[in-house]
Amino acid sequence: MNSSAGDDPVTSSEIPNEMTGGEALARILKAAKPGPMFGMGGFQLLPFYDAARRIGLNHNLINDERCAVFIADAYAKVSGRVGVCDATLGPGATNLVTGLVEALNAGSPLVVFVGDTHRMHSWKNMTQESRQVEILRPACKELIRVEMIERLPELVKRAFHVATSGRPGPVVVDIPEDICHDTFPFDPAEFEIDEALASSPALRCAPAAADLAQAADMLAKAKRPLMLCGGGVHISGAAKAAEALARAINLPVAHTMTGKGAIACIDPLSAGLFGRYDRIANALIEESDCLLVTGCKLGEIATKRYSVPAAGKTVIHLDNVAEEFGRTFSPALRLWSDAREGLTGLASALADRADAIKTRQQGYADEVAAKMAEWRKSVEPRLTSGERPINMARMLNEVNKAMPANGVLVADGGFAAHWGGLLYDTKEAGRGFVPDRGFASIGYGLPGAMGAALAAPGRRVIGLTGDGGFNMVMGELETARRLKLPLTVIVVNNAASGYVKALQHLMYGRDAYQSSDLEEVNYANVATALGCLGLRVESPDDLAGALAKSFTNTDGPTLIDVVVTRDPAHMLPGVDNRTVQVKKGDRVA
C-alpha cells in the first residue's frame, strides 16, 4: 500500500503554481486526510491517478467498483470518518449504484468521484457514455458536477460538508474529462480543509429544552420503560451515551440489527434484537408503558412488518432526521436531535431523579436479565449442537466464544445478517457488528470486512457471508491478499441461495425449489488458489481450532469454508429454527 491516511498534507510550498484538475483533486483529498481509497481507473481520471502516485495518496486498485463502495461504506461505519472511492465513466460509474444506495439508506458518509465524458464531445456516441448523472443522482445524498476547473477544490470541500452533516450519506462528484486534464493556476490556500469535515457527524443538533424536559418526565413516570436503538446510535457515536443513560436509571435496551452494540449484548440490561427475529424484546415492548426509540427508522424488519410496537403505544422518537417522524408510527413526542446529544441531554435532565428511578426500577431490570438468562438456557442445545452438517447456531456460538471484546463481525445481507443479528453477542458498547442493512445486498461480507480491517487495525475482524454472496465478490480476495489484510472470512456453505430456498420451502413445500441451488464448491480450495489460507470445516468440533488458526495468520486473509445444513426447513434465521406459516401473497424479505 502507499502512504497511510495519517500522513501530513502537502504544504503550500510544495503546491505547484499550475496543475491539472486531477492533481488538484488529489491534493485536496490529501489535505482532508482520508482513509484508504479504492477505484479502477480509466482515461478520464488518469491525471488524478498520476498525482495520487506522486504525492503519496493511499489509493488502491479494486476488482469491482461495487466492492470499492462497500469497502468505503464499512470503513466509514467503523471509523466514523468519510469513506472515499472512485470510478471511471459509464460501467464504472453505474457499478457504484448498489453500494451508494446502501450508504444512502444506512447514513454512511462517503465522497465518491466519477469520471465523465469530455464536454466538447458529449452526446456524440463517446465510448462508454451514458446518462450517468441521472442514474446516480437518486442513489446519493447529493450529486455535484464540476463545470469549471477553478471551482474543483471548493466543490470537493462542499462534498465533504454535505456527506458529514444531518444524516450522513454518500456524495458523488462528477468530473468531466476536460476538467480533470485541463490545468489552472490554483491558489495554494484553496487546498486547506477543515479536518472536522472528514469525520461524521461534523455538526450536531440538540432537542428543544421543553421537549427534553417532557421526555425526561415521561421516562421518570414510566414503570416499564424500554429503549429501542437503531443504527443511528452508531452513526452518532452515541453508544457510550446510551449505555450511561441505561445504567443511570436501569433502562433496558433492545436493538435492531444495525443498532446492535448500543449497549453490550452481554450487559444485564440488554433485551437483544427486536422485530422479526427477537429473543425476549418483542414481549417487553408489548408490556412497556414508554418506549424511547433512538436513531431508528422503525422499518419493516425492526417492526415485524409494522406490527411492533402495537398501535397506541407511548413512544418518544429521537432522531436527527425530522422526515422519519410519523413515517411508520406516530410518536407521542418527537425529539429532533443528534442521538448522542439527545441521550446526553436526557441523562442530564434526569440526573436529580436518577438514583431514585434506578432503585425503583431494579426489580424490572432484574426481570429482564432473568428472562434473557432463561432464553439462553432454552436454546443451549442448539448453541452446542453436534449436528453434521453444522448447525448455524453452533457456528455463531463458536464465533462468540472466539471473538475478543473489541472484535468486529461484518455480516453479509440476508441469511448471514439475520443469523448474526440474532445470535452474535457484542461484548462492549460500540459498533462491533456491521451488517449492510441499508440496502441488504448480498456480496458485502468480504469487502465489508476489508473496510472494517482498514478502519480498525489491530482489531479482530470476521466477515460472515453466504456462498451465494461470496460467489459475487470472490475476486476481492486478491485485493485483500495484495493489501495483506489479516481478516477472517467465514463462508456459510449450504450450496444454495439459502434464504430464498427456505422461503420456497415454507410457501410451496419440499422439493418445490426453483433457481435456488448452487453446485457444491470447496471454497477453501478457492482461497488457496488465490494465494490465501483456506480452511474447510465439516465438523462442529473443528470450528474453534479453525478460528484460532485464522487469528494467527497475520500475513493476509483467511477463508473458513463452513459446511452447514442443506435442509431448507432448518435454514431460516432463528435459533429454534421455528416454522412460520406464510400466506400466499404475503411477501417475506
Per-residue pLDDT 10s for the chain (589 aa) are 333 444 444 444 477 779 999 999 999 999 999 899 999 999 999 999 999 999 999 999 999 999 999 999 999 999 999 999 999 999 999 999 999 999 999 999 999 999 999 999 888 888 888 999 999 999 999 999 999 999 999 999 999 999 999 999 999 999 999 999 999 999 999 999 988 888 899 999 999 999 999 999 999 999 999 999 999 999 999 999 999 999 999 999 999 999 999 999 999 999 999 999 899 999 999 999 999 999 999 999 999 999 999 999 999 999 999 999 999 999 999 999 999 999 999 999 999 999 999 999 999 999 999 999 999 999 999 999 999 999 999 999 999 999 999 999 999 998 888 899 999 999 999 999 999 999 999 999 999 999 999 999 999 999 999 999 999 999 999 999 999 999 999 999 999 988 899 889 988 988 889 999 999 999 999 999 999 999 999 999 999 999 999 999 999 999 999 999 999 988 887 654 444 444 443 433 3
- How far apart, in whole angstroms, are the C-alpha atoms of residue 198 and residue 168? 11
Domain with CATH 3.40.50.1220 in the chain: 209-374
- How far apart, in whole angstroms, are the C-alpha atoms of residue 526 and residue 441? 23
Sheet strand arrangement including 433-435: 433-435, 408-411, 461-466, 488-493, 558-563, 533-537
CA nearest 478: which of 523, 532, 522, 442? 532
Alpha carbon separation from 4 to 83, 404, 455, 487 (Å, rounded): 14, 26, 12, 19
CA nearest 427: which of 401, 395, 450, 449? 401
Do 99 and 70 form a contact (C-beta atoms < 8 A)? yes
Domain with CATH 3.40.50.970 in the chain: 12-198, 379-570
CA nearest 450: which of 492, 424, 472, 478? 478
Cβ of 447: how many Cβ atoms within 10 Å? 34
Long-range pairs of 186-189 with CB within 8 A, sequence gap ≥ 24: 186/15, 186/18, 186/19, 186/24, 186/150, 186/153, 188/12, 188/15, 189/12
Backbone angles phi, psi at 251, to 5 degrees: -100, 110
Residue with cell 502507499: 2
DSSP 421-450: HHH---SSSSS-EEE-TTT--TT-HHHHHH
Residues for the chain: how many in total?
Answer: 589
Please, what is the angle between helix 65-79 and helix 445-455, to 10°? 40
- How far apart, in whole angstroms, are the C-alpha atoms of residue 31 and residue 192? 6
Which DSSP state fits 81?
Answer: B
- How far apart, in whole angstroms, are the C-alpha atoms of residue 253 and residue 37? 36
Count Cα atoms within 13 angstroms, Cβ side, for 119. 13
For domain 12-198, the question of CATH label 3.40.50.970 is answered with: yes
Give the three cell numbers for residue 106.
444506512
The pTM (predicted TM-score) of the whole model is 0.94
* Burial of residue 54, with CB atoms counted within 10 A of its CB: 0-12 exposed, 13-18 middle, 19 or more buried: exposed
Q: Among the CATH numbers 3.40.50.1370, 3.40.50.2300, 3.40.50.970, 3.40.50.620, which is that of 379-570? A: 3.40.50.970
Q: Are strands 59-61 and 37-39 parallel, antiparallel or unpaired?
A: parallel
Cβ of 122: how many Cβ atoms within 10 Å? 13
pLDDT the model gives residue 575: 55
Do 20 and 51 form a contact (C-beta atoms < 8 A)? yes
Q: Write down the CATH number for the domain with range 209-374.
A: 3.40.50.1220
Do 253 and 318 form a contact (C-beta atoms < 8 A)? no
Which DSSP state fits 564?
Answer: B
* Burial of residue 516, with CB atoms counted within 10 A of its CB: 0-12 exposed, 13-18 middle, 19 or more buried: middle
Do 389 and 564 form a contact (C-beta atoms < 8 A)? yes
Instruction: Assign 3-class secondary structure to 448-463.
Output: HHHHHHHHCCCCCEEE
pLDDT the model gives residue 313: 97
